Amino acid sequence: MRTPHLPLSMFLSLVACAGSEQEPASMKHHDHHDPGKHGHHHPGGHDHAHHGGVHHDFSDAAEWSKRFDDPARDAWQKPDEIVKLLAIEPGMTVVDLGAGTGYFESRLATAVGPTGKVVALDPEANMVAFMRDRFEKAGVKNVEPRTCPLDSTGLPAASADRVLIVDTWHHIEKREVYAKHLANVLKSGGSVMIVDFTMETEKGPPKELRVPPEKLVAELRAGGLEARVVDESLPDQLVVVGKKAL
Ligand X SMILES: C[S@@+](CC[C@H](N)C(=O)[O-])C[C@H]1O[C@@H](n2cnc3c(N)ncnc32)[C@H](O)[C@@H]1O
Minimum distance from residue 200 beta carbon to ligand X (Å): 19
Member of 38, 171, 175, 210 binding ligand X (CB under 6 A): 171
- Of all residues in the shown chain, the one whose CB is closest to ligand X is 100
Q: How far is the CB of 99 from ligand X (least distance, A)?
A: 6
Binding segment toward ligand X, per CB under 6 A, in 87-95, 111-119, 167-175, 208-216: 167-175
Nearer to ligand X, 146 or 228 (CB): 146
SS3 labels along the chain: CCCCCCCHHHHHHHCCCCHHHCCCHHHHCCCCCCHHHHCCCCCCCCCCCCCCCCCCCCCCHHHHHHHHCCHHHHHHHCHHHHHHHCCCCCCCEEEEECCCCCCCHHHHHHHHCCCCEEEEEECCHHHHHHHHHHHHHHCCCCEEEEECCCCCCCCCCCCEEEEEEECCHHHCCCHHHHHHHHHHHEEEEEEEEEEEECCCCCCCCCHHHCCCHHHHHHHHHHCCCEEEECCCCCCCEEEEEEECCC
Q: Which of 68, 130, 135, 197 binds ligand X (CB under 6 A)?
A: 68
Q: Is 38 a binder of ligand X (CB under 6 A)?
A: no
Q: Which stretches of the chain bind ligand X, using CB under 6 A?
A: 20-21, 43, 58, 68, 97-100, 103, 122-124, 127, 150, 166-168, 171-172
